[in-house]
A and B are shown apart, each in its own frame.
Chain A
Amino acid sequence: GDSVTQMEGPVTLSEEAFLTINCTYTATGYPSLFWYVQYPGEGLQLLLKATKADDKGSNKGFEATYRKETTSFHLEKGSVQVSDSAVYFCALSDGAGGTSYGKLTFGQGTILTVHP
């Protein structure tokens, strides 16, 4: 079945440091890939997405490129801020096989803490 594996956390960085959160996936077909974020006290919200191979999703300075050859969708940001402290979830949605069309399969989440 479909699965998503994220790097072990938590991740602690100083402000302005470079961020990478690794994400790899297993899927039957050609999934769409997502990064969702959960800020403290708030609900899950979409950070960025990519729907086909080699697409790059970007938002708020974050980027991730859909790499079909390595089945990866790593999240990067060049200079993190304290306000980026949150839990980040990698997810996929795979319409292949006739099963739940559009359902998200999530990784376990990575807690990011950014210190001033």
Chain B
Amino acid sequence: EAGVAQSPRYKIIEKRQSVAFWCNPISGHATLYWYQQILGQGPKLLIQFQNNGVVDDSQLPKDRFSAERLKGVDSTLKIQPAKLEDSAVYLCASSKQGVPQETQYFGPGTRLLVL
């Protein structure tokens, strides 16, 4: 089966600009996650969707970050305006149901550099 797809793979922007990332999860997976991975750290959850509803966005900086999951399939994550500290890899993952014992499948990530 096809894996989790993400685009773009790399993005360089200047601070205060906006940027958007796209994710297409594995077909049939109800749960979609966006993680932020800063260099030298483990991934940190930004937002979790169950179908097209938000389950957890407690660590999403809502003054600048937004995300949506259209029709319970694809998802976009937007940053506006970007700050230097947003430089990181943004990982999208999906799982069938969103229960703790499930495996999550990760995409290749989008590497963002904010100058």
Give residues in A with beta carbon < 8 Å to B: 4, 31-32, 34, 36, 42-46, 49, 51, 89, 91, 93-95, 99-109
Asked whether, in the complex, the Cβ of A100 is within 8 Å of the Cβ of B58, the reply is: yes
Q: Which residues of B contact A102 (CB under 8 A)?
A: 31, 48, 95, 97-100, 102, 104
Interface size on B, residues (CB 8 A): 29
With contacts A34-B103, A46-B104, A103-B45 known, what are 7 further pairs, Cβ within 8 A? A45-B106, A46-B103, A91-B42, A95-B100, A101-B98, A102-B48, A104-B33
CA distance A46 to B93 in the complex (A): 12
Give residues in B with beta carbon < 8 Å to A: 4, 31, 33, 35, 40-45, 48, 55-56, 58, 91, 93, 95, 97-104, 106-109
Q: Which residues of B contact A94 (CB under 8 A)?
A: 100
Q: Which residues of A contact B48 (CB under 8 A)?
A: 100, 102-103
